[in-house]
Chain A
Amino acid sequence: MWLKDSSIGRKLVMSISGLGLVFFLLFHGCMNLALVFSEEAYNWICSVLGANWYALVATLGLGALVLIHFLYAIYLTIQNRMARGKDRYAVTAKREGVEWESENMLVLGFVVIGFIVLHLANFWFKMQFTEIMHMCGAEDFAVATFGTVYAPTDGAGMVKALFTTPIWGQVYCVLYLVWLTALWFHLRHGVWSALHTMGFNNLVWMKRVKVISAVVATLVAGLFAIVVLYYLGYGIGMLCV
């Protein structure tokens, strides 16, 4: 199977799974934006995306994408390290035109995935997962946020609690911002690289594709960051009062 056996095939898998995840993030980011305007609207979206069959299928798909992206990344990296040979260079220098993130995608990927686990624990675990547990009969399954249990569909409540609870809320905000920064770097190279791997590039579009990539990365990270910053401001405001 050339998607596994050829280098370009493997990269195509990375590209497509990566771009799929970018689309999800864009959707997720837009959805989050609702929080800033109306908590009810946000909760309505949460209820639509609960443990419904289509949401579950999408979740499974999403999980598969993450898994593929992650496994291929590990596979490619092992191969690439082997390709370097056993003796490493004693001196390495910065190369002009080579962005830092492009050579550190795996590290950035680990940072991103680490936070995803935290993020799942913070929200998904208390929302969709809890609903699934309820459907499976574990009626009293519930996880609290800073001591308060919110209904699985009260996403807004959870978000607000997580990000505005004094001190811990601000710590979370900063952590999420760090995560988004890593994500921004990961996507700035990732989107460009995916398009390049899929062959959407030439001499003329070289710079343009890089700009497109930066725009997408900024859009994704920005959408999330707006919400975090909004609550950071809110939380600090509460502290001052």
Chain B
Amino acid sequence: MDNYIDIKVRVWRQAGPKAEGHFETYELKHIFQGASFLEMIDILNEQLISEHKDPIAFDHDCREGICGMCSMYVNGHPHGPDSAITTCQLHMRKFKDGETITIEPWRSRAFPVIKDLMVDREAYDKIMQAGGFVSVNTGGVPDANAIPIPKAHADEAMDAASCIGCGACAAACKNGSAMLFVSAKVSQLALLPQGKVEAAARAKAMVAKMDELGFGNCTNTGACAAECPKQVSLANIARLNREFLCAKLKD
């Protein structure tokens, strides 16, 4: 049963990309456990505004776990101590009365901090721009049912495609690797006949861009998949490796 709790939050405050950051601790009283984590931050911000202090900057938008904008590292976990959710779906019932909650931004060289808990994830967009698409223009495409696709492939492609690009994988990875993100897109498109045509070029282009942007080397720890809010499987990474290696060996 949800109750009211008193908590302390230890939040990373950083004025700008170049500024030195530090932790600041705030006390919050009488927080309903049915509130979402971001609603708790809303309450904290209202409190800060009423004290004429600078509210905490954080990214958030849809608040239903799909846009991928929210990005908090809560008590050592991207998106906090619950599985298969984003920060906006984390609820205060996961915390105890009197607990101190530590909130940090994603920390990865490729995701520089903009302010407080807000980071720049444009790197993921750039990887997508390098090859995360099927090269078809609008119009002039065949009928949708022209190529039957085995249900198993379509389903597996869908599971890979459910990635929301939040960056939790790279944030969780001790190597700062973006392999789960890249592999999810490469897998989705490699599994479908429409994407197969360019599969080799796509794998090479996306991996090259990923490396160029300063992401680390995957060592298969599995932290990314363990923390992925959409439970994208590590098996995708194997597929990416396969696609990439085959492409390189064919060259």
Contacts and interface: CB of A to CB of B under 8 A. Distances in A.
B107 to A, nearest CB: 5
A203 B76 CA distance: 28
A82 B238 CA distance: 24
Nearest to A5: B211
A103 B111 CA distance: 21
Q: Which residue of B77, B174, B177 has the most chain A CB atoms within 10 A of its CB atom?
A: B174
A7 to B, nearest CB: 4
Contact of A7 (B110, B174, B217, B238): B217
A9 B12 CA distance: 37
Contacts of A52: none
In this complex, the interface size class of chain B, counting residues with CB under 8 Å from chain A, is 35 or more
Given A2-B248, A82-B214, A98 B226 contact: yes
Contacts, number: 148
Interface in A1-33: 2, 5-12
Interface residues of A, number: 44
Interface stretch (B50-58, B192-200, B227-235): B227-235
Interface stretch (B30-38, B137-145, B239-247): B239-247
B219 A95 contact: no
Nearest to B172: A95
A88 B107 contact: yes
A206 interface: yes
B217 A11 contact: yes
6 contacts: A6-B208, A11-B218, A80-B217, A88-B107, A103-B174, A198-B242
Interface of B: 12, 21, 23, 73, 75-77, 81, 83, 102, 104, 107-113, 156, 172, 174-177, 179, 207-208, 210-211, 214-223, 225-227, 233-235, 237-246, 248
